[in-house]
Structure formats: C-alpha cells, structure tokens
Amino acid sequence: MIHAEISVYPMATKTTSASFYIAKAIETIQKIENLKYEINPMGTILESDDMDVINKATKQMTETVHNLGINRVEVIIKIDSRKDKHQSGQEKLESIKKHLN
C-alpha cells in the first residue's frame, strides 16, 4: 500500500489565499480509479496500491493549478510505500491511537 501526502502551493497569486486553487486541483483527482484521498488543513493524503496512480494524481493536481494561470507551483510530496502489509490510512491511525494515553 502506498500513502502519500501532497501539498500544492500556487506561487504569485493575486491574494494570499490558495483555497480556490487547491479545491480545483482536488476536483481533478476525484474520479481517478484506485485512488482514495483525504484533505486536511496542510495537504491532501493520497492512498493507492499503485505508484503510477499516485504520480498521476500529483501530475493532475499540478497541471490544474498551472492551467488556472499560475506560472509557478511548488509541490511537496511525502511517500510511504509498504510491501509487507496492506494497511489503510485509517488502520495506521488506529495503530498509533492504541499507544496514546
């Protein structure tokens, strides 16, 4: 299972808000097969069994922001690829929570 956290930062926009661009980028990945995603205040979590799906989502999100007239987009992506165990993002969270007091 592959988990990735992607953060997309449009550069040189007219305002300090990036929410419009982020929303449009997320809209483009909603129908990608074999991809689960979850947004959070600092980025978007992507989940798939296939690295090509993660790469496709990353590319689509970046290109969407460019197509909205933004000439420079910074993308930060963190990937956790695990082959020994099939574990969803929710299962990863539960594993951590059981150790919390």
Report field, pTM of the whole predicted structure over 0.95: no
| pLDDT tens-digit series, residues 2-56 | 999 999 999 988 888 999 999 999 999 999 999 999 999 999 999 999 999 999 9
**Looking at residue 92, what is its pLDDT?**
84
Domains and CATH numbers, the chain: 2-97 (3.30.70.930)
d(CA 82, CA 24): 30
| pLDDT tens-digit series, residues 62-79 | 999 999 999 999 999 999
